Structure 1
Amino acid sequence: MNAPQSQAAQPRVAQSTILSPGKFWGLRRMADAGGRFKMLAVDQRPPIKNRVAEARGEDRPRYGDVRAVKRALMEALAPHASAVLADPTYALSDAMTVLAPHHGLVVTLEDSVFGEGGDGRLSKAIDDWSVSKIKRAGGDAVKVLTWYHPDQDAVSRQAQLDFTKQVGEACARYDIPFLLEMLLYPLAGDTGQTKDYVEQAGKRADHVLKTVETFAAPDYGVDVFKLESPVPAKEVPPPGDGATTALFEEMGRLAGRPWVMLSAGASQDAFRNVLHYAFEAGASGFLAGRAIWWDAFQHFPDMAAMATALSGPAADYMKELNALADAKACPWTRWFDDGAEGPLRPAGWESEWMQGAYDDLEGRL
């Protein structure tokens, strides 16, 4: 395994005694053999649904179209991924048959339609969907997007904190990894106010860092962070800028556990720059969608042309990101390496899970 390139990329050891068997196994399933996350996101709903309706010239997207698009994305690109993030409404049932047995399966919990309260967005779970159902469906991890802004009104901010904490508690109860994504958004008076699922234009780095610091508290039970760039992606300079390096290193320090980068609809060139800085700062990979497949998706409703573009330029770009991760990303196991001899193993297996079985066996021998 390749060592991280900077001192900041050497993660602090703080979690070697709290990695339960279920979370240990889920993290292994999400990563490749080298411990790097190369994850494909196909759980996007408004961006895909809106584009499908627009391409058809219709007011509402057809369910079959959205499902067919997501299946095509998985068929072409999942072979290059360590895991796939799928939503239960359109993608999960096809993921069950499209994904190979070695693929990890991360499943979305949150509804794409967020509520609004005061000056803040309110996340909620999909109706009749839960952490326990994701576990029963064979998911290897639970993903949640929590909209958050440090300056949103106090009531909506507390609602977001409470929602996230409840999910973390449920993931601990069902012993499944919790992958948390946080996204800033423009408040009512901000320039570029929008409800679209896009990166906030002109976002402030201190807002991103404060958000990471908030959810890194143990109350929320986060196992892996899916983070946005502290700098708007299109403004991230080519590798080597000292100020940008410092921001990414601080973000990794605040995360304090394995973290990956999201693309948030960034261009391919911009996302490549983002990953250079992230991997230097200790990120363990990426969980990305639109940066990889958005250009190919523009061929819809010509599914044959879309499939050609997915298996060609989109797949080539994903292979490039994988190679970059192999060269620079920090294996997730480094966060749990306490220097002891032997491979990383889940904590508490014999003492908490199996002691009763051992006692019973000894009693019968």
Structure 2
Amino acid sequence: MQETTSVDQARLAELIERIITDAGAAVAFPLALVGDRLGVFSALAAADGPVTAEQLAGRTGLAERYLREWLLAMAAAGYVTYAGGGDPGPEAKRTARYRLSPEQAEAFTNSDSPGYVAGVFQNLTAATRMVDRITEVFRTGEGISWHEQHDDMFEGTERFFRPSYLANLTSSWIPSLSGIEERLDEGARVADVGCGFGTSTIIMAKAYPNSTFVGLDSHDRSIARARERAAGARVADRVTFRAEGATDLHGTYDLIAFFDCLHDMPDPVAALRAARPALTPGGRVMLVEPMSWDTVEETVGNPLGRLLAGASTFVCLPSGLAGPPAYGLGAQAGPARILQVAEEAGFGDARVALATETNRVFELAP
């Protein structure tokens, strides 16, 4: 007979309070995405001072009644600042004034800032739109290909990672590799595998004008956007984008980079095996992976671990199970498992070159 235990009412109340907090966050994200899409955050940032919902409606052309409720929700979430002005009585919410603090404006409107987080709203909201498919694959054990994700996932992922790439890619990640920055300065060949919209490729091309770059991604629409971005950034003369898979490398390269994508691949070993013979003498593979840990204890109770484990369940793990041999690394594989995969692929020298709060950079050499 199963042993029964009494419910600790204090712990139950604590759990319910946590669920209420999480529920508030869950509705704040899609509402923030609505504000991002409609330019409401930008309109607030551009205002001379605090505004009412009616004034904001005049600036944006949006419906005042919806803006009034949205502002209340965003202020309750801490994403917008309530600046007072609510008259007492039934009209209090109509006359309330709101603004963005400098920090809120930086986080929600400055896409070049390391603190820019608007892409998180788009990326994670897109992930949760797959809940019906996720329910299905839990039963079957099958995967969900990257191509099957909601369209917002592709742009949201680019917006999610771009601030980190701007802040770290050329300032710390590449310098952490043995001798690669010098090669890039002089003139090297670089492959960016799983390049998506080409943000990482373009950042490198701007920083190292003597080098040439090839971006590979199996998602045709992302490659089309990458080509547009390269032309707009005026680096198309030294950047080529190809709609090809991770094993379709041609020629040799001084640097082959995988930015936040190896763990999504059904066959990460094959991808690395293809990269190994494509390296020039002294060339390196750079893996940039989301921060992950080798033990459950390191992940549980860790806010970043909570976020990344949840995102992995929705996106990364299903992608890694979407084809043979279905390694299913997921975003929380841990550094020991990543290094094991590198060893399986034939790399005799693999190490963690650098760790930040949100990423680990791995350097692989034959």
Q: TM-score range by the shorter chain?
A: under 0.3
TM-score between the two structures when normalised by the length of structure 2:
0.27
Larger RCO (CA within 8 A; separation ≥ 6): 1
Point out the structure with the larger helix share.
Answer: 2
Higher Cα Rg: structure 1 or 2? Answer: 2
